[in-house]
Amino acid sequence: MLSINDGSDSDEEVILYEETFGGPFNHAPTVSADGGGGPVTSNFGVGAFPTFIMVGPDRTLFEKDIWPLTDVSTFEATFPAGVDPEVMECTFLEVIEVADVDFSIYPTISNGQNITIEMNNQVAKSVRIYDITGREVYSINANSSDVKFSLNVSSGTYFVKVNTESSSATKKMIIK
């Protein structure tokens, strides 16, 4: 799930909508127009907000406009025949800070050049960068407490996942 803000709603308004109508799960990452919402709405033909669409794992559009939305069964009714997905928590995009993985990333808003990840008394085994659709756009096997890299990606919101030997944590970064 992604929440795309067209620029007229605040993130708080989108989150409140999801909390009210989104069902018994944590709200999805919310992306404003500044964070890359424009290309997502263009690519999937979103013309009004809120719009609920179903996108398959291969990034194909199953259903363009799911409405009215009453509960999770409304989504289930859009699954293609024979599709019965396992219910699972999406953790690779969840922006959380896990207590046992502590890192800093700077700058968090940048042009993509000279990005640094500093591990606080830990070693990063790998770093993975995901766009808002969950597509991995960059990865590096680090094995270091100080990781430096540059990204050549479009403007938007990205999620930086740092893996240690035993755990991982994800933080948000904006490329402008």
- Of 21-25, 55-59, 171-175, the range with the highest mean pLDDT is 171-175
pLDDT average, residue stretch 20-37: 58
Question: Domains of the chain, with CATH numbers?
Answer: 3-76 (no CATH), 103-175 (2.60.40.1930)
Q: First and final CA of the chain: distance in angstroms?
A: 23
Residue 158 or residue 13, greater confidence: 158
DSSP string across the chain = --EE--SSS-HHHHHHHHHHHS-SSPPPPEE-GGGTHHHHHHHTT--SSS---EE-TTS-EEES---S--SHHHHHTTSPTT--PPP----SS--B--TT--EEEE-SEESSSSEEEEESSS-EEEEEEE-TTS-EEEEEEEEESEEEE-----SEEEEEEEE-SS-EEEEEEEE-
Interval 110-169: pLDDT, tens:
999 999 999 988 999 999 998 877 788 999 999 999 999 999 999 888 889 898 988 888
At 166 the pLDDT is 81
Q: Residue 104: what are its φ and ψ, rounded to 5°?
A: -120, 145
Confidence of residue 63 (pLDDT cuts 50, 70, 90): confident
- How high is the mean pLDDT of the chain? 76
Q: How many CA atoms lie within 13 A of 81 on its CB side?
A: 0
From residue 75, give the alpha-carbon distance in Å to each of 55, 84, 160.
11, 12, 29
